[in-house]
Structure 1
Amino acid sequence: MKVGFIGLGNLGGKLAGSLLRNGIDLTVLDRKEDLMADFAARGAGTAQSPAALMRDSDVVITCLPSPAASAAVMDEMLAEIGPGKTWMEMSTTDDAEIRRLAALVEEKGGTPVDCPVSGGCHRADTGNISIFAGCDRETFEKVLPLLTHLGRRVLHTGPLGTASTLKVMTNYLATANLLTCCEALVTMKAAGMDMATTYEAMKISSGTSFVHETESQLILNGSRDVNFTMDLILKDLGLFQNIADRNDVPLELSPMVIDIMRDGQTRYGERANTDDIIRRLEEATGLSILADGFPAELIDDEPEERGYEVFPPGRARPLAAE
């Protein structure tokens, strides 16, 4: 199988690296020539255009920063899509947009798969990230071997669009959790608590979470380099709010989360890291939320293993998965 990969940014570069590390016949494409040169030095092929990449590949994976970017790439690839071609969208995008693009692929005889990831760039780097896959079951079983090289836990979410819907939900939850962690850390600092002790109390308690155990460490170190920026999270938060609006769900916290992150973007820059949001409270209180002994970057210490499909509770395993 010849695999093409478009988008070698913070996340995409790590996902593509997992494919290359696992011996997949890989060709890459990115606007930044230095990123392509790095992959070429490690044995990957390089393409000159999305159309050429689709023409010469069996599967093309896209991991791009916005729905508009994915649409632009699809416009270029579409003429080369036909029977036997598969497009796998790993970008975080709108469920309606993924269905629109998928329909174009299907009209040409190709096969689309909606498969965003969740778990952080550090887990993408080791092939231990989680993957949601939206497509029919037959297609899922065909792409599952490839997905298990990209991630550890793979969940078949249902039809096209369901994976993207769930993905933006998880990013909303992570951002809301980040804000509560920031408020907890600053309040404990103001109350005179030791920050390392506060971190550990949160970690071993009912208040712990994936976000706390990862991003709180970067906050306390001071690097706050989570490899995810405010422009991207505001895009994802807006997608989640749109889902709620379309379904007449009167959310209360979501608009507040969006307002806080927008204020952070205005203060610290469009491309500021999302963890910089704690600076709003540091500036308001005059406190510095730092502690010794915490890492400047996240490193996944879970050994890399071949991925596998996970099943919801009570859901019968399909016969093909036995």
Structure 2
Amino acid sequence: MSTKIAFIGLGIMGLPMAKNLVAAGHTVAGFNRSPEKSQELAQAGGTAASSVAEAVRDAEVIITMVPDSPDVESVMLGEDGVLAHAQPGATWIDHSTIRPDVAAEVAQKAREAGLKPLDAPVSGGEQGAIDGVLSIMVGGEQEEFDAVRDVLEGVGKTIVLVGPSGSGQTVKAANQLIVAGNIGLLAEAVLFLEAYGVDTDSALTVLGGGLAGSKVLDQKGQKMLDRAFEPGFRLNLHHKDMGIVTAAAREAGVVTPLASTVAQLIASTVQRGDGGLDHSGLLTVLEELSGGSSDPSAR
């Protein structure tokens, strides 16, 4: 069935997701602060909206995919935001990655305004968004989740309701902790292998076939070997996500020493001006800490 969808936020992840919804047969009106992204959606068969109000006016499902908690609050609660213009009964799906407490608070306000909220952050990076195989962790009510599953299946492959509002963001925080830790360890492994003159392509192939194998290794290993850090997911966004992880862990009284260490390494990379790199660019700061040389005798 075709659903009228408003898609707000057409960035690295949002644009391919919106295009996939068009390809799945849905009617998609997109809005982005940079209008050229909306035009690109229009060229793919969607509609370019000139404002949030125009995008959501007749929408049955409203999707947001914006960078951070304040952006979600602005898009949803602002004078020209979603709650001011959406039709009652519409479902709001937030694919952004934000603080769990903010997700729960805005969901409550959306429900009071007559919307059906689902926090549904995604994992899989730009390629997963392009291929339509994202992992989606959803917080909300079962009946409301079931009603829009066909929409979620237009952008994702592994789609799971994990609890009430805010739960999706909690699971995403755990996801970002694991990903960051894997990236940090992969970067250390690459530098270690290079230091000893190992054939790194062969080394990563065999490592990928054993217990050390992971999607992080598969997707980020070659980028590290090539020092090719064009962004699929920017370090400055992972920096924001690690802030969510460490704050939420502190609030819950959970000790996360490994998360704290990798969070500081990511922060260091961002603060020196490399926040626009792909998060595999974490290798750069570790390489610098190692003296910037692959020769063990130079250390």
After TM superposition, the score normalised by the length of structure 1 is 0.86
Q: Take 2:43 and 2:225, find their aligned partners in 1: how far apart are those partners? A: 36
Alignment deviations for residues 131-173 of structure 1 (CA, whole Å, 9 cap, x no partner)? 1111111111101111111111111111111111001110111
Q: Tell me the SS of whatever aligns to 2:213.
A: coil
Q: Which moved more, 1:36-45 or 1:80-89?
A: 80-89
Residue 235 of structure 2 aligns with which residue? 230
Q: Tell me the SS of whatever aligns to 1:84.
A: coil
How far apart are 1:2 and its partner, in Å?
Answer: 0.8
Matches within 5 A, 1:300-315: none
The two structures, once aligned, show a CA RMSD in angstroms of 1.6
How far apart are 1:270 and its partner, in Å?
Answer: 3.0
Which of the residues 225, 232, 253 maps onto 1:248?
Answer: 253
Q: Take 1:198 and 1:224, find their aligned partners in 2: how far apart are those partners? A: 20
How far apart are 1:82 and its partner, in Å?
Answer: 4.5
Residue 184 of structure 2 aligns with which residue? 179
Q: Tell me the SS of whatever aligns to 1:285.
A: coil
| Same amino acid, percent of matched pairs | 28
Q: Take 1:197 and 1:42, find their aligned partners in 2: how far apart are those partners? A: 40
Asked if the contact 1:218/1:226 (under 8 Å) is kept, the reply is: no
How far apart are 1:201 and its partner, in Å?
Answer: 2.4
How far apart are 1:214 and its partner, in Å?
Answer: 0.9
Residue 265 of structure 2 aligns with which residue? 260
Asked if the contact 1:8/1:63 (under 8 Å) is kept, the reply is: yes
Matched, 1:49 2:51: yes
Residue 29 of structure 2 aligns with which residue? 27
How far apart are 1:288 and its partner, in Å?
Answer: 6.1
Which of the residues 2, 12, 32 maps onto 2:4?
Answer: 2
Q: What code does the residue aligned with 1:88 have? A: I
How far apart are 1:123 and its partner, in Å?
Answer: 1.4
Alignment deviations for residues 253-291 of structure 1 (CA, whole Å, 9 cap, x no partner)? 1211111111111224332322222122333333369xx
Unaligned runs of 5+ in 1: 290-322
Alignment deviations for residues 4-52 of structure 1 (CA, whole Å, 9 cap, x no partner)? 0001100111111110111111100001111111111222112222123
Q: Tell me the SS of whatever aligns to 1:109.
A: coil
Asked if the contact 2:7/2:63 (under 8 Å) is kept, the reply is: yes
Residue 286 of structure 1 aligns with which residue? 292
How far apart are 1:54 and its partner, in Å?
Answer: 2.0
Q: Tell me the SS of whatever aligns to 2:5.
A: strand
Asked if the contact 2:231/2:278 (under 8 Å) is kept, the reply is: yes
Matched, 1:205 2:207: no
Residue 219 of structure 2 aligns with which residue? 214
Q: Aligned residue pairs: how many? A: 289
Q: Tell me the SS of whatever aligns to 1:125.
A: helix
Matched, 1:164 2:166: no
Q: Take 1:9 and 1:82, find their aligned partners in 2: how far apart are those partners? A: 25
How far apart are 1:174 and its partner, in Å?
Answer: 0.4
Q: What code does the residue aligned with 1:21 have? A: A
Q: Which structure's relative contact order is higher, taking Cα pairs within 8 Å and 6+ residues apart?
A: 1
Asked if the contact 1:116/1:167 (under 8 Å) is kept, the reply is: yes
Q: Tell me the SS of whatever aligns to 1:87.
A: strand
After TM superposition, the score normalised by the length of structure 2 is 0.92
Q: Take 1:273 and 1:119, find their aligned partners in 2: how far apart are those partners? A: 13
Alignment deviations for residues 166-218 of structure 1 (CA, whole Å, 9 cap, x no partner)? 01110111011100001111111112211112211211121111101111121
